[in-house]
Amino acid sequence: MFKKLMAKFGVGAAKVDLQLDRQGYRLGETMTGVVRIEGGNVEQRISDLSAQMLMRVTLRGQEVTRQVQAFPISRNFTVQPKPFVQEIPFSFVMPEGLPISTPAVQYALHTKLDVEMALDPTDFDRVEVLPSQPVERVLRALDRLNLRQKSDSGKLTQYGQEFSFFSGADLGIPLKELDVIFFTAPEELRLLVELDLASGILRRDKEYKAEIIVPQDLLAAGKEEELSRYLIETITGYVNDPQSIPYVSLAAYQQEQYGQHGQRGGGMGGMLGGMAAGVLGGMLLSDLMSGDEEMASEDTGDGEGEDMDFDFGGFDEDL
């Protein structure tokens, strides 16, 4: 009787431990693993076993943690006293619109064992969200061109995740900074870029918004050199002839992604990190970005969720 009473307060209760098959998963991949449950001092009835994927964003010194998605794992089972051990497999598809992991955008899985009439055991585990292979190949190609990511690269905008680069070597063009937002389309990868050009002493620098369409064949494995050459030739052409740059509207891309009524169309592309505004809430994201110079400057909308108020548990220091 005493053991049952103590187990209700978590002493000698069952333990839960989520174990991923690997720590990082690409956007769109299926995350897999098992939840290991160890029995405590007494038998306990479990009504629900589930996990939440949490996103923590740090911007302008503020930290906000929100739930990306919750997914059920199992329901209505009994955990026997120790040495009972049970492993329950799970899978979860990584949403394609998430921002990838950076120092300012981090993810964790919060696993909860809902014990009837008792304190619920929980577990926190870090998970890394990796870019798709086409995006990763473009990032590598830019690195081959000695375009280095800035310390704040990967920051969030109301349209998606923005990557910022500076030139680590003389490219033969007056390029001071390159900002990129990725848009994935069925047959190509589009780079929505902002070119920051130096104009010389006593003259204001110039900024141009442009689009670079990367065809699918250049994104295949083994095409790194051709991809780098294509990117620098396109950028150089825009820098040398700004009048040739086609007009690019981020708002139009957002409409293409979600349609006129805010619903994402089937089979259409999407902004890398475009889910951030929905997860964080548009107004909150706008407030967090207030004062930053962004490629996108339009209003973000008025949706705002409730702060989860998680501190990512004791594993916080490892993020």
Task: Answer yes or no: CATH 3.40.50.970 is held by domain 14-130.
Answer: no
Q: Is the pLDDT of residue 256 over 70?
A: no
Which segments of the chain belong to CATH 2.60.40.640? 14-130
CA-to-CA distance for 311 and 244, rounded, in angstroms? 49
Q: What angle do CA 306, 310, 316 make, to 5 degrees?
A: 145
Rounded Cα–Cα distance for residues 179 and 157 (Å): 12
The two tokens of residue 248 are 């690019």
Assess whether pLDDT exceeds 60 at residue 158. yes
Instruction: Specify the length of the chain in residues.
Output: 319
pLDDT digits (tens, 9 = 90+) for 47-85: 999 999 999 998 778 899 999 999 999 999 999 999 999
pLDDT of residue 254 exceeding 70, the answer is: no
Residue closest to 295 by CA, chosen among 152, 159, 150: 159
Question: The whole model's pTM is what?
Answer: 0.83
